[in-house]
Each structure stands twice: as structure tokens, then as C-alpha cells.
Amino acid sequence: MSIPPPPPQFPEYGAAPSPQSSQSMQSQGTNGMSIASLVLSLVNVIPCFWVVPIPALLGVIFGSVGRGQMKRSGSDKGKGLAIAGITIGIVFLVLAAVLIVVLVVNRNNCDPAVELC
């Protein structure tokens, strides 16, 4: 019968991190502003945001800021998310503008017999 190997030794609380763990901490992930841009732009799918597209506007702003951060840092992680967030946000802003124009133009053409007017 063989004896199993001893469990790995973990560093004590407050000990300096090993060089290997500090290298993994330095690796950059996806840009957070790009993720926020896409999420906020997609939130605009919810009908209550169709007339007042605040999430879409924030999605366009966050995507632009994220693209600027990536250009300054030289990183491309999240570039596609930022572009998608900006594009979807602009589409929802245009759709909201069209919806508002349609509602304003048709507000006097409403039939009083219809309860939705």
C-alpha cells in the first residue's frame, strides 16, 4: 500500500504572495465598461424603457468610454462588447425617437371611444 502525498501547503494569512500568483493578478480581463455597455443597451428591450431610453443612452456612453480606455491601454479585450453595446444603444435611441414622434403626431387623432387614448 502506498501512502498518499501530503496536502499542499497554503501561505499563512498576511504572507506575501508568491510571484506566480502576482503574475496572474496582473493579467487584465475584459473591460468592465464594455460589459456594462452591452448589458445596459440590452436592458432597453424591456418595454418600460422604450419611451425613455436611459439605459440605451448610458450604454452608448459606457461603450465609448470603454473604447477610449482600451485605446489608451492598448488592450483589445472587450472591443466587440463595446461596439455591440454602442450599436444596440444607438438602435434603441433611434427607435425611441421614432416612437416619440409617432405618439406626438397621433395624439390629436385619437378616437375618444377607444379607452387607450
Of 29, 28, 35, give the one whose Cα is nearest residue 83. Answer: 35
Which of 6-15, 22-31, 90-99 has the lowest average pLDDT?
Answer: 22-31
CB of 69 within 8 A of CB of 33? yes
pLDDT in tens, 17-44: 665 554 444 456 888 999 999 999 999 9
Domain boundaries, the chain: 31-105
| DSSP conformational letter for 7 | P
pLDDT for the residue numbered 67:
94
The overall longest dimension of the chain from CA atoms, in Å, is 90
In this prediction, residue 23 carries a pLDDT of 47
Angle, CA of 63, 68 and 73, to the nearest 5°: 125
